[in-house]
Amino acid sequence: MTVGPLSARVATLCDEIVAKVGPNAGGQALQVRDRLSEPLRVAIAGRLKAGKSTLVNALIGRRVAPTAVGECTRVVTRFRYGAADRVDVVRRDGTRASLPLDDDGMIPQRLGVSAARVAYVDVTLTSDKLRDLTVVDTPGLASTDTAVSARAAAQLGETTAPFDADIDADSASEVAAAEAVVYVFTQAVRADDVRALEAFRTASARLASSPINALGVFGKVDTLVGGAGDPWPVAGPLAEQQAVLLARTVSEVVPVVGLLAETGEAGRLTAADCAALRELSALPSTDLQVLLASVDLFRSRPAPVDAQRRERLLGLLDLYGIGFALAQLAAEPQLGTGELVRRLVQASGFPRLRHTVEQTLRWRADAIKAGWALSRLERIAGHLAEPADREALRDATERLLREPAYHRLRLLEVAQRVATGAVPLPVAWEQELTRLATSNDARWILRLPNAGAPELSAAAVQAANRWRVYAVAGAGPAQSRVAQVAHRGFHLLAKAIQEQAR
């Protein structure tokens, strides 16, 4: 992975620290440096059977993560890029056991090691989509109404153990190592969903997820309506309602038909499948209407395609995807497999999610990783017994944060505190701060899409003055500290606009 400029400077800082501190602090600083060169790590979280593994497969572009409940779905699985496909079961004592992928190219359902001994499953794949992104598939979050096992409760604490009861502290630690998170929901978000997600954030102390580095996915939207009906008129408004309910947890909620996304992105629909769909599309519309009314009718009604092929189509597309494909083929009988797959992916809503991941997570990866590293160094300093080492780490990080280029990390820090509700601000101010912290686009930050440099510069100066006034009049101590960071951020933005215009 190409290391961004902010992360590269923090890595250099870690090297400088090593020369000034003892071996204990130096060793921890080197661990932080090494982590900076790794791809952004994104945890996929959600309730049991929410469709997390299906989404993981779509993001990876291969059907590797089993979606049926089994041993491997009850432990954390990390997917990262490698020169060869490989599955390693990492035991809690640090030893590894290698397994081959099964005949279908998936992780075996049985790991050969008892779940109690598994820390996580480490999967390397030759998928280019993993070059800049490591995906962590998590066990399902348990309902807060579900009893947590005595072992998990003892290791994580009753209020910080939202995972399926069999997860252990090592697995939870692997999840907590992620820098960003995608929460997966289905249909209405219940109160205990929200509590479980809040508990996930508590357990993932290093992650400290917030709208700055977290997305929501409303999965399985095709289940909102019966048969092959179009779910999107319902899914869109419902996703917007979910986004309001989870405004303190995720930046937005993206609705997705996970099965269609997985089938399309993993290249599972074959020319033979397309031929079977084409045969079905030639049926009279009244026959198709009855055939698509329910899964049972699709399986049992007389049709030119045999039962085995129809069962396969259900597994690939379900009724909504089948109905959509049949409508496309009825309108264009010569439609090729590649074009049909492209349209199915579009119908899944996955392109929007992919774009959102690119814009919200990968685009911010450098700042997210650098911010994580500095926070980690500060935490290390707080736990060091040697005063000289502690002061050396704190002085080094403070000097770095005073550099203008690194003010973005201060902005991310305060924006995260505001977004999680730790420091309350009026909604409009909070939104403006989030835009400033998460973008370099002055027009988007200032909401002036067609403005030229003079107008943008003036608007940035005006915003800086507004935050300065707020800092000294009308704000409490916590709000004042946030406002001072925002004031300097807008001042630096105005300066950058002026320099670019020269």
- List, in sequence order, every residue forming a beta bridge with 77; answer none if it has no partner: 121, 137
Residuewise pLDDT in 10s, the chain (502 residues) = 557 788 888 899 999 999 889 998 899 999 999 888 888 888 888 877 888 899 999 999 999 998 776 656 678 899 999 999 999 999 888 899 999 898 888 998 888 887 778 888 999 999 999 988 899 988 766 543 343 333 333 333 333 334 444 445 555 566 667 777 888 888 766 655 666 556 555 554 444 556 677 788 998 999 888 778 899 999 999 898 888 877 777 778 999 999 999 999 999 999 999 999 999 999 999 999 999 999 999 999 999 999 999 999 999 999 999 999 999 999 999 999 999 999 999 999 999 998 888 766 766 778 778 877 887 888 888 888 888 998 989 898 888 877 777 787 788 878 877 877 788 898 889 889 988 887 778 998 999 999 999 999 999 999 999 999 999 886 788 899 999 999 999 999 999 999 988 7
- List, in sequence order, every residue forming a beta bridge with 216; answer none if it has no partner: 183, 253
Say how far apart CA 232 and CA 350 lie, in whole Å: 13
Say how far apart CA 378 and CA 396 lie, in whole Å: 10
Which architecture does CATH list for 38-257?
3-Layer(aba) Sandwich (3.40)
Beta-strand pair 40-46/133-137: parallel
Q: Which long-range contacts link 224-229 to residues 24+ away (Cβ below 8 Å)?
A: 224/187, 225/320, 226/293, 226/294, 227/292, 227/293, 227/294, 227/319, 227/323, 228/292, 228/319, 228/320, 228/322, 228/323, 228/324, 229/320, 229/323
> Dihedral (C-alpha) 431, 432, 438, 444: value to the nearest 10 degrees?
110
Burial class (CB in 10 A: 0-12, 13-18, 19+), 142: buried
CB 53 within 8 Å of CB 76: no
pTM of the model: 0.78
CB 87 within 8 Å of CB 47: no
Tokens of 134: 């490591």
Domain ranges of the chain: 38-257, 261-348, 403-501
Torsion sign over Cα 126, 131, 137, 138 = positive
Say how far apart CA 219 and CA 239 lie, in whole Å: 10
Say how far apart CA 179 and CA 110 lie, in whole Å: 29
Tokens of 465: 């003055």
CB 425 within 8 Å of CB 418: yes
Contacts of 115 (CB under 8 A, 6+ apart): 71, 74, 75, 166
Tokens of 480: 């004042």
- List, in sequence order, every residue forming a beta bridge with 78; answer none if it has no partner: 122, 136
Give the 3-state secondary structure percentages of the chain, helix then strand then coil, rounded to 5.
Answer: 60, 10, 30
Burial class (CB in 10 A: 0-12, 13-18, 19+), 2: exposed
Q: Strand, coil or helix: what is 435?
A: helix
Q: Strand, coil or helix: what is 199?
A: helix
